[in-house]
Structure 1
Amino acid sequence: MLKQSLQQKMLQKLSPLQIQVIKLLEIPAAQLEQRIKKEIEENPVLELDGEGRDKDDAEEPEVKEQESEKDELSIDDYIQDEDIPAYKLQARNFSKDDKHEDIPFSDGTTFHEHLSRQLDMRMFSERQLLIAEQIVGNIDEDGYLRREIEEIIDDIAFGQNIEVEEDEALEVLKVIHDFEPPGVGARDLQECLLLQLEKKDRTFPALNNAYHIIKNHFDEFTKKHYDKITKRLNLDDDEIKDAMDEILRLNPKPGSSYSNPVHKAIQYIIPDFILEMKDGEPQLSLNTRNVPELRISRTYANMLQDYSANKKNRSQDKKEAVMFVKQKLDSAKWFIDAIKQRQNTLMLTMNAILTYQKEYFIEGDETKLRPMILKDIAEITDLDISTISRVSNSKYIQTHFGIFPLKFFFSEGMQTDTGEEVSTREIKKILSDCIENEDKKKPLTDDKLALILKEKSYNIARRTVAKYREQLNIPVARLRKEL
């Protein structure tokens, strides 16, 4: 039996402008220029300021009032006196006197091209070359072959319809293991280090001992059980130290040794904000150097104006054409307004963070960071928490003491024994300093670190110390031990 019922729901419907703002807020400076170019390509009504007219000679037409009709289209909806020749973004914040440093780019050989060139220098048969190319193609940027040989063989079978035996593929891999840089094509860290040691002169005792440590006592080596290694290889303290020194000279990521800018492309962070100190006070600006200025195309705006002035000659085709133009005009106006709102929201949010963390931004001292969560900035700006989250995600600020992601400034808080509220960031900084200055022959355990923090009035449990240490990517005391 069918049953009908009425139900009331409160739904919030976002306007096209709000949707545009939300999308643009999530885009960092590095991607904004491309997003604007894409919009210009898709919407002919949008154009870069200065295109299609001479700025100096441009005269803005007066718009007469049109009769009020339901379907009346007014150019006033798109071009207003204060917007001409505007519809621009905010000021670029850069003068002609500013230095414009070119970002270097890579135009040389990549790591994989370097490996591929070495293939041509080997006496491979056509079949072996096919296998070698498949293997090299699966070597990652660190220089490791992460995929199993069986999987590579399957790829060759499916892609080339050629059956390859495992021994055959391993023989080819053995040749690749002789490529430069040493250690390339290794399937794990142990093999990587062994490949490098095999290329060294092992008539030297230290190198020979290093080889046997990696080959036969790798588990003890990774766990830093030096006492066990010393006993099993019958080495004295000096011999084990010399062997460890040789191991530490090896490269655990041979692909990273190919890091010359000519060989490897470098990724650059483009900051969204620039913070400068002027007369001891922080001055904030948006980085809009690579953001083009936009305006509504005069050609399309005039089309709408002509239509409004000639109401008598309105054919159906012309009405449809003008409605299309109106849609594009609406879309262009929403996009330009969304860009403006994005810039305003970014500045509003960052100014709130700057005010909240002013002492830190003046000195750059991490211990000056106050506990701050998204809600704190949302309350100051009167913006939604989700908006603050979008602004802080993937955005960077350039300061006089470095470039930082906005997420860096947010952290939980806790109270000291004296009742003072401090940031967990401050505690992590102290923890990091303690470990950095510890005696590496007797590194501090989590229990000892907890005691040190307690002496400084930070009453933190050992498990919390362990959590903070892991968040800082610092290994346990045993793995920090040095000879």
Structure 2
Amino acid sequence: MLKQQLNFKLSQKLSPQQIQLMKLIQLPTQAFEQRISQEMEENPALETGKDEEDAFDDDFSNEDSYDEDYDEGSEVIETDINVDDYLSDDETPSYKLSANNYSADDEERQTPYASGTSFNQHLMQQLSTYRLDEEEEEIALFLVGSVDESGYIRRELRDIVDDLAFTQNVYTTEKKIEKVLQIVQELDPAGVGARSLQECLLIQLKRKEETPSVVLATKIIEEVFDQFSKKHYKKLLQKFDITEDQLRDAIHEVESLNPKPGGTYSGNTRMVEHVVPDFAIKIIDGELDLTLNGRNAPELHVSREYTDMLKGYKESKDKSKSQKDAVIFIKQKLDAAKWFIDAIKQRQQTLFVTMNSIMHHQEEYFLSGDERKLKPMILKDIADKIGMDVSTVSRVANSKYVDTPYGTKLIKEFFSESMKNDQGEDVSTKEIKKILEITIGEENKRKPLTDDKLAKILKEKGYPIARRTIAKYREQLDLPVARLRKEI
């Protein structure tokens, strides 16, 4: 049997305005500009730029009652909207915003990129200089289309044979594909079309002049590539009966080669991401000065035409049904515009307050640029200082950049966990990683330091860290193990 019961409970739900604000806060500058453009397209009551006149007339005061101007048949309008609320202006309206820190230096400057041809098109153009029969041309075009952005063909020949049969209706053999592949590997840049790093290096070495060091490098790559990649130099010296100088010259030849030939193609520069800093920090007279990018503080106002429409409606004696419908539409657009501009104003304040707190927390770093001066800082530290939620600070830090005297930095990089030093003080893991990086950079490359030795050195410097932690930090810094850092 079904039972009915009544329960009371408290729940917290975000208003549409709060949701809109959170979405705006997490947007970086470029996405924020696109969002403004989208809103202006959807809401004709919203305009950008300086308003030639005040958006409201002082002739209208709150003393005039909107209810007195309506007939008895306009009850819905009377309860839904008061025209005076949109025409009166006792104080500067909140949506009369301007960018106080805007200057000509904040104007958008983008690096133009040449349209050019793609990497694959560049290779296909070179194929036209070869004499190929119809089948060979089909195979060559398919192979070029299989080249990835690094310049490699990472597929087995037998798989290519099947794909040619199913997709191109070309029935061939692995031997024929191997023959055409050699033609593709003659294209520029050198090394393109290789199926492995070993093959890529050999293709480039064969195009070099046959000096003793090049001949030796070719033998090493062909015969003992695995030992070479693991830097077992003693075994190489014994196998080829050579001196350290000869091996050093051969290694130098290999190091001069390009392991990713496709990455050097100029057409790929079009894929570079254009970063626009959301903040700028400058040092003026020994003090830090923070500014918000002017593009984050647009000048927005309500359309003058919409306020004129409301004014005409108020002064009209005979109010038709179509006029009442128009007023409801105008009210919706004005509310949406005001909510949006208020959200932008709150976004500006939230961004500035959050970044200002981060700047003062990391003041020593911003004044010196020394990453060892970075203090431990987590999201909660900043959230407690500014009285906001951790999620709000996360939205500000996650995808925003700041222009500093030491380069453009991602804000979330200033956050790090803390560890205790030998004196019991909290130090940032960023500081420890920087010291580790410097220690490895200063080591004797003929006898690189192992993780155990690195742990002992850092302990002597006052940072008692376990070997496994050293290994973790080294991997995060993209530094190889000691054996792979060894040089002749």
TM-score normalized by the length of structure 2: 0.88
- Residues 99, 291 of structure 1: alpha-carbon distance in 2 compared, 3 angstrom cutoff: closer
1:360 lines up with 2:357 in the alignment: no
Q: Deviations over 1:432-458 (max 9, x none)?
A: 000001001111111011000110111
The letter for the 1-side match of 2:81 is: E
The letter for the 1-side match of 2:244 is: D
Q: Deviations over 1:312-358 (max 9, x none)?
A: 5241x444443333222222222211111111111010000011111
Q: How many Å separate the matches in 2 of 1:415 and 1:174?
A: 59
Partner of 1:180: 188
The letter for the 2-side match of 1:106 is: Y
Partner of 1:278: 284
Deviation larger for 445-454 or 2-11: 2-11
Partner of 2:471: 466
- Residue 282 of structure 2 aligns to a residue whose secondary structure is strand
The letter for the 2-side match of 1:24 is: L
Partner of 1:255: 262
Deviation at 1:165, TM superposition (A): 4.6
Runs of 4+ residues deviating >6 angstroms: 56-59
Gaps of 5+ in 1: none
Partner of 2:59: 62
Deviation larger for 98-107 or 15-24: 98-107
- Residues 127, 70 of structure 1: alpha-carbon distance in 2 compared, 3 angstrom cutoff: farther
1:132 lines up with 2:137 in the alignment: no
Q: Deviations over 1:402-434 (max 9, x none)?
A: 111111110111111111211111111110000
Q: How many Å separate the matches in 1 of 2:131 and 2:235?
A: 45
Question: In the alignment, is the contact (CA less than 8 A) between 1:88 and 1:293 conserved in 2?
Answer: yes
1:29 lines up with 2:29 in the alignment: yes
Partner of 1:235: 242
Q: How many Å separate the matches in 1 of 2:208 and 2:246?
A: 18
The letter for the 2-side match of 1:430 is: I
Partner of 1:103: 110
Q: Percent identity?
A: 50
- Residue 70 of structure 1 aligns to a residue whose secondary structure is helix
* Cα RMSD for the two superposed structures: 2.8
Partner of 1:482: 487
TM-score normalized by the length of structure 1: 0.89
Q: How many Å separate the matches in 1 of 2:221 and 2:376?
A: 46
Partner of 1:20: 20
Deviation at 1:12, TM superposition (A): 2.0
Deviation at 1:89, TM superposition (A): 4.7
- Residues 109, 319 of structure 1: alpha-carbon distance in 2 compared, 3 angstrom cutoff: same
Partner of 2:217: 210
- Residue 178 of structure 1 aligns to a residue whose secondary structure is coil
Question: In the alignment, is the contact (CA less than 8 A) between 1:32 and 1:291 conserved in 2?
Answer: no
Q: How many Å separate the matches in 2 of 1:399 and 1:328?
A: 40
- Residue 276 of structure 1 aligns to a residue whose secondary structure is strand
Larger radius of gyration: 2
Q: Deviations over 1:87-122 (max 9, x none)?
A: 33532432x5x4969433112534514323213323
- Residues 297, 241 of structure 1: alpha-carbon distance in 2 compared, 3 angstrom cutoff: same
Q: How many Å separate the matches in 2 of 1:463 and 1:226?
A: 27
1:189 lines up with 2:197 in the alignment: yes
Give the 5 Å matches for 1:420-439: 420-439=425-444
Partner of 1:39: 39
1:306 lines up with 2:312 in the alignment: yes
Deviation at 1:174, TM superposition (A): 2.4
Q: How many Å separate the matches in 2 of 1:206 and 1:16?
A: 70
- Residues 83, 219 of structure 1: alpha-carbon distance in 2 compared, 3 angstrom cutoff: farther
